[in-house]
Amino acid sequence: MSFLNYLVSGLSLGSIYAIIALGYTMVYGIAKMLNFAHGDVIMVGSYVCFFAMMRFELPPVIGVLLAVLVCTILGIIIEKLAYKPLRSAPSLAVLITAIGVSYFLQNSALLLWTSNPKVFNSIVGKGSVNIGALSISYVTLLTVGICVVIMIVLTTFINTTKMGKAMRAVSEDKGAAQLMGIDVNKTISMTFAIGSGLAAIAGVLLCSAYPTLMPTTGSMPGIKAFTAAVFGGIGSIPGAFLGGILLGVIENFAKAYISTEFSDAIVFGVLIIVLLVKPAGLLGKQVNEKV
Amino acid sequence: MGTILNVEDINVYYGSIHAIKGISFHVDEGEVVTLIGANGAGKSTTLNTVAGLLRSKTGKIEFLGEDISNTPAHKLVEKSLALCPEGRRIFLNMTVKENLEMGAYTLDKGTDIAGEIEKIYDLFPRLKERYKQVAGTLSGGEQQMLAMGRALVSQPKLIMLDEPSMGLAPILIEQIFDIIKTLHSQGVTILLVEQNAQAALSVADRGYVMETGTISLTGTGAELLASPEVKKAYLGS
Ligand SMILES: Nc1ncnc2c1ncn2[C@@H]1O[C@H](COP(=O)(O)OP(=O)(O)OP(=O)(O)O)[C@@H](O)[C@H]1O
Ligand SMILES: [Mg+2]
């Protein structure tokens, strides 16, 4: 494989990280919490799509839409039952709860679907586009394309719509946002809905590229995407995008040119170096001190 | 002229700290009423409680005849009650125009929001010049104008201002008080919290003096300005 091929598959993996990282970063920006169960929502989305396609023989598009729907609702329920009661609790309590929700989802999946890996059928055909020595699979094209579309739609939503601006207001100052008449609880719920819907899309794309589906499928990509969000600057939407893409590319190059076993260590090493130089991440804002 | 705001026997706590100890006061339509008092007297706590950000353990708060003691903060703007909080708390990463749009958040879909924002620009021409600028880059005076403008976009029946002159140069303080007078002449009802007792009592119809969670003195602006206690404690003479 050539350099370009490694780059392209890195971009594809990075796009998946970016879509997951958007969920982490939006929830962090608005609810000021790390939703460690986010990775497991990916897994749930993948199972929903898997069963829709394999068991009920529905077309892939319907499978994806069902996955998005289920995860959106799941996100809203998780927030309402697990996190909303802890709104004024210490952040450590919220963090532990998030870890608990993560285990709950994984163990529920284990009970429902067992630990036997399922072979996920890609939502697009196996073919690829060849340009000279460079070969780009349909899944890769779709993944990168969807990531770009999500990025554009989300940025436009946040910057131009009333709801999007309200989200930015809540992320800056919840009290002041309430004084504007913004319902903070509704906004947080909405953020979980969007993040979880995106997680479902990421899950389907992930399993289309790496077809083994298990109850723990979401964990590692979840952690990597969280790293990507921190790398790009947690709370920043362009940061999540940039962080995700860079992480995917670095990981793939590390695997190709250095060592498969050490690729994760290299990825986290780069993260540590970036955070030493830029503690708020690549595009993160330094925290504004409140008067 | 009816009573717009009626606060009766409220007690507010921060954990075990008893910050407001059973105070009562009222604001009538068209009035400028001021709450003055030393640091930590409980002025901000009082305004935040009326705005629904804090809760009183006792008594009641009536706004336009309706009991709002348990109404969530975000529902009060619609009911035409606005608070311009201490320390301004504008959205620093949003532009001037976006901040004002947030002030218009509860206005009905049909409302001419651009027109309402234009009215704010008439009051604060400086904001119009800088409408595209990110609020964090405004000067302190401009930030205060934005905070007041943002609270006024929804055309509240009562606006509560928490130390609008804090940290401003004398010339800007004068400007802020001129605007308060303008609003007063337009019939806007104002509840004003100030450390600058002299200026506040000069524009106010009535005032209340707060001392460690209680109201120690009340009267018209002129009466309080002339009162020996007020002179001694707050006017430095
Ligand atoms: N978040 C809080 N937690 C605990 N105590 C608080 C909190 N906020 C205020 N207090 C206490 O409540 C009392 C009243 O404070 P408040 O901010 O209402 O005073 P203030 O009259 O507005 O003072 P200033 O003029 O300095 O703004 C003070 O003793 C203060 O220390
Ligand atoms: Mg105060």
- pLDDT of B225-237, one tens digit each? 999 888 887 776 5
SS3 A156: helix
Q: Is residue B85 within 6 Å of ligand 1 at its C-beta?
A: no
Specify whether B110 is located in the same domain as B209.
no
In ligand 1, the atom with minimum distance to the C-alpha of B210 is 21
Query: B140, B155, B170: which is the final residue of a domain?
Result: B155
CA A280 from centre of chain: 19
Domain boundary among B155, B171, B189: B155
Q: Is the pLDDT of residue A97 over 60?
A: yes
Q: Name the residue ranges covered by the structural domains of chain A.
A: 3-277
Q: Rounded mean pLDDT of chain B? A: 93
Residues B41, B6, single domain; the answer is: yes
Interface residue B150 vs chain A (CB under 8 A): yes
Question: CB-based contacts of A146: which residues, under 8 Å, 6+ apart?
Answer: A15, A19, A201, A205
- Set of chain B residues whose Cβ sits within 8 Å of the Cβ of A290: 87
CATH number at residue B182: 3.40.50.300
Which ligand 1 atom minimizes the distance to the CA of B38? 25
Residue B162 CA to ligand 2 centre (angstroms): 7
Ligand 1 contact, B212 CB (< 6 A): no
Q: Which ligand is nearest to the CA of B54?
A: 1
Among chain B residues, CA nearest to A170: B91
User: B96-143 pLDDT, tens per residue?
Assistant: 999 999 999 999 888 899 999 999 999 999 999 999 999 999 999 999
B166 shares its domain with B59: yes
Is a pLDDT exceeding 50 seen at residue A71?
yes
Contact A165 B102 (CB under 8 A): yes
Which chain B residues contact residue A233 at CB under 8 A? none
Can you give the pLDDT at residue A288?
A: 45
Nearest CA to ligand 1 atom 14: B42
Q: How far apart are CA A62 and CA A199, in angstroms?
A: 16
Cβ(B14) – ligand 1 distance below 6 Å = yes
Nearest ligand atom owner, CA of B35 = 1
Comparing alpha-carbon positions, the chain B residue that sits nearest to A185 is B74
Residue A126's Cβ-count burial label (10 Å; 0-12, 13-18, 19+) is: exposed
Could you tell me the residue range of the domain that residue B150 belongs to?
89-155
Domain stops at, among B155, B190, B213: B155
Confidence (pLDDT) at A291: 34
What pLDDT shows up at residue B97?
Answer: 96
**Residues B150 and B161 grouped into a single domain:** no
CB A200 within 8 A of CB A70: yes
CA A237, distance to chain mean position in Å, is 12
Ligand 1 atom 6, closest CA:
B14
Decide: B140 in ligand 1 pocket, CB within 6 A. Answer: no
Whether residues B1 and B75 fall in one domain: yes
* Each residue's pLDDT tens digit, B160-216: 999 999 888 898 899 899 999 999 999 999 999 998 899 999 999 999 999 999 999
Report the b/e string of A171-189 with b at 16+ CB within 10 A.
bbbbebbbbbbbbbeebbb
Residue located nearest, by CA, to atom 12 of ligand 1: B19
Which residues, at least 6 apart from A109, have a Cβ–Cβ distance to it below 8 Å?
A40, A43, A44, A47, A215
Assigned architecture for domain A3-277: Orthogonal Bundle (1.10)
- From chain B, the residues in CB contact with A166 under 8 A are 102, 105
CA-CA-CA-CA dihedral for B194, B197, B202, B204, to nearest 10: 40
Which tens digits make up the pLDDT trace of B49-108? 999 999 999 999 999 999 999 999 999 999 999 999 999 999 999 999 999 999 999 998
pLDDT tier for residue A289 given thresholds of 50, 70 and 90: very low
Atom number of ligand 1 nearest to Cα B15: 4
Q: How far is CA A111 from CA A59, A75, A199, B39, in A?
A: 27, 20, 22, 60
Residue B43, chain A, CB below 8 Å: the answer is no
Q: How many domains does chain B have?
A: 2
Take residue A84 and report the two structure tokens written for it. Answer: 């909303």
> Which own/partner contact pairs does A120-124 have at CB distance under 8 Å and 24+ positions apart?
A120/A46, A120/A50, A120/A207, A120/A208, A120/A211, A120/A212, A120/A213, A121/A53, A121/A54, A121/A211, A122/A208, A122/A209, A122/A211, A123/A49, A123/A53, A123/A60, A123/A63, A123/A64, A123/A204, A123/A208, A124/A60, A124/A208
Question: Quick one: angle between helices B96-103 and B113-123, nearest 10?
Answer: 120
Rounded to whole angstroms, what are the CA distances from B233 to B33, B107, B192, B211? Answer: 19, 43, 19, 11
Atom of ligand 1 nearest to the CA of B195: 25
Contact B94 A169 (CB under 8 A): yes
Q: Are residues B147 and B57 in the same domain?
A: no
Which of B44, B45, B74 is most worth mutating to test chain A (most A CB atoms within 10 A of its CB)?
B74
Taking the Cβ of residue B185 and every Cβ of chain A, the question of whether any pair is shorter than 8 Å is answered with no
Same domain for B199 and B134: no
Is the sign of the CA dihedral B37, B40, B42, B44 positive or negative?
A: positive
Work out the average pLDDT over A253-278: 89
Report pTM.
0.91
Q: Are residues B67 and B1 in the same domain?
A: yes
| Of A259 and B146, the one with more pLDDT | B146
* pLDDT score, position A92: 93
In chain A, which residues have their Cβ closer than 8 Å to the Cβ of B136? 288
The angle at the Cα of A96, spanning A94 to A97, to the nearest 5 degrees, equals: 60
Do B210 and B170 share a structural domain?
A: yes
Q: In Å, how far is B78's CA from the nearest CA of chain A?
A: 7
Å from CA of A182 to ligand 2 middle? 23
Q: Which atom of ligand 1 is nearest to the CA of B193?
A: 22
Average pLDDT, chain A: 92
Ligand 1 close to Cβ of residue B56 (< 6 A): no
Is the pLDDT reported for residue A149 higher than 50?
A: yes
pLDDT of residue A287: 52
Q: Please report the pLDDT score of residue B236 as a whole number.
A: 64
Residue B102 and residue B199 share a domain: no
Q: Residue B87: which of A172, A179, A291 has the nearest Cβ?
A: A291
User: For A10-57, what is each residue's pLDDT tens digit?
Assistant: 999 999 999 999 999 999 999 989 999 999 999 999 999 999 999 999
Q: Which residues of B touch A291 (CB under 8 A)?
A: 87-88
Average pLDDT over every residue of A201-224: 94
Which of the residues A180, A188, A287, A291 would you substitute to probe the B interface, choosing the one with the greatest number of B C-beta atoms within 10 Å? A180
Q: Which chain A residues have a beta carbon less than 8 Å from that of B72?
A: 178, 183
Same domain flag for B70 and B107: no
Q: Nearest Cα to A216, choosing from A11, A43, A37? A: A43
Nearby residues of B126 by Cβ (< 8 Å), 6 or more positions away: B142, B145
Residues B151 and B167 in one domain: no
